[in-house]
Amino acid sequence: MCSFMVYTKNDIKKEDFLKGFKKIKYRGPDMSRLEEDKGIWGFHRLAIMGLSESGMQPFCYKENKLVCNGEIYGFRKIKKELEKEGYKFTSDSDCEILLPLYEKYKEEMFKKLDAEFACVIYDKSTNDFIAARDPIGIRPMFYGYSKVSDSIMFASEAKAIIDLCDKVIPFPPGYYYKDGKFTKYLDATKYSKFITDDIDTVTKNIKEKLEKAVIKRIDADTPIGYLLSGGLDSSLVCSIASKYTKKPIRTFAIGMNTDAIDLKYAKEVADYIGSIHTEVIIDEKDVINALDEVIYHLESWDITTVRASIGMYLLTKWIHENTDIKVLLTGEVSDELFGYKYTDYAPNKEEFQKESEKRIRELYMYDVLRADRCISAVSLEARVPFADLEFVDYVMGIDPDMKMNKYNKGKYLLRKAFIGDYLPENILFREKAAFSDAVGHSMVDYLKLYADKKYSDLEFSEKVKKYNKHKPFTKESLLYREIFEKYYPNSSDLIIDYWMPNKSWEGCDVTDPSARVLKNYGDSGK
């Protein structure tokens, strides 16, 4: 995990650039560099691959220049092939291979990468700046146009450039920018092959591809940890990793001091796979005190995102302060592929697939945003195996009729794929609990109570009138929006809307985004 800030001109004051650049140093505390050549380039490094100073960016090659926040999977094999062609590398960093690859393939390079990345390249031959972001949007990037000359600038987080631009916009995943235009190079929702195989073949492939996705993400030159909620997704990631590492993995779970739901399940998984397990316990005061920090780092006012981020942020903060871990594997992106509790209400397979596509397209504003910001805020790196491009392509291509809940058990294909010695059966087939609920139902209840005490009914009705877009509709949502506006005034378009179930479906017309309010929640979260 690193951060960068690049301005394509040299017409702003250096101190103004530095003011924004310093705001994102926590993403890369190991080393910082500023260069004023062909624009202004700033880079903060969190050393994960190639730990020596030679891995510091920007990288240069034949007067081309690169900054990249990313992980390039399989880079060692590519590096050997490039060395045979005569290229001499100066570091052990995975990102250094991008400049010779760019020289060979130009913009076609981006669709060839098995990676999660955001990068900016200067091409000397054309005097162009090229920027690109991975197809899921795992790594963040924002852009805006300078108030001084309307020239474009890029940054890993919006906060870095928000004072320098009239408007800051998320860089769209799966696109590259060149010569003033944004071009889509890969759409992660469009599969390469429609899969109609029998269920045994499909689940065998799901298992093999998810194992491969986890294995490639446990390659690092620094210690790795695992977030283990006790739910299906994180438990599978931890179980797979434990089978392919020589030493016991280190797992971490968090819960409220009163009613933590998932701690017992996380411990059961940890005991089963033999991990070195840590529980972090939080209380009402921890939750309320974290709100400002969480919303500042998230750059979001969304209810679901804020709720789910508090536990994750406090857990990763504890990990940073008490361990030497620098990389964390997480279980995000499974719901978007295999279904939420609310997608049980999908009226047909076409609607199920459309909803999955929508959720994949918007991941960078919600779940993967949460994972990135919570983890990078404390100078760690997030890796998300379920977002592996090959895995996503395969699952999106499965006939949606097979993915719908026809089995009286959500995510049945994923569960069936790992029947065996991966997890205890009661964990493998346990109903899903919403992340914020799993930390403890009391957490959300405390947040709602805090907001209810903060605003009278009259005050709430008056305050919401000032918001013409994305209007808060509960006291809790007003609380989050006011904190957001304190740090990012008039920037609510950084995300598209509140994350909510598909209200057009029968059974999903709810006023709270938590799965807990759905009639089919049943035994989830117990």
**Residues labelled as active-site residues:** 2, 46, 69-70, 304, 307
Determine contact, residues 411/232, Cβ cutoff 8 Å. yes
Q: Which amino acid is at 448?
A: K
Alpha helices in 153-198 (DSSP H): none
Cα-only R_g, the chain: 23
Q: Extract the tokens encoding 350.
A: 């076409």
Q: What is the C-alpha to C-alpha distance for residues 169 and 512, in angstroms, rounded to an integer?
A: 27
Q: Concatenated DSSP letters for 33-69? A: EEE-SSSEEEEEE---SS-SGGG-S-EEETTEEEEEE
CA nearest to 480, candidates 257, 282, 308, 286: 308
Strands in 303-436 per DSSP E: 327-329, 381-383
Q: Measure CA of the first residue to CA of the last residue in the chain; give whole Å.
A: 35
Q: What is the C-alpha to C-alpha distance for residues 88 and 422, in angstroms, rounded to an integer?
A: 43
Q: What is the C-alpha to C-alpha distance for residues 328 and 28, in angstroms, rounded to an integer?
A: 15
Q: What is the C-alpha to C-alpha distance for residues 220 and 214, in angstroms, rounded to an integer?
A: 12
Query: What DSSP designation does 422 have?
Result: S
CA 462 to chain centre: 35
Determine contact, residues 342/355, Cβ cutoff 8 Å. no
Alpha helices in 217-302 (DSSP H): 232-243, 263-273, 284-298
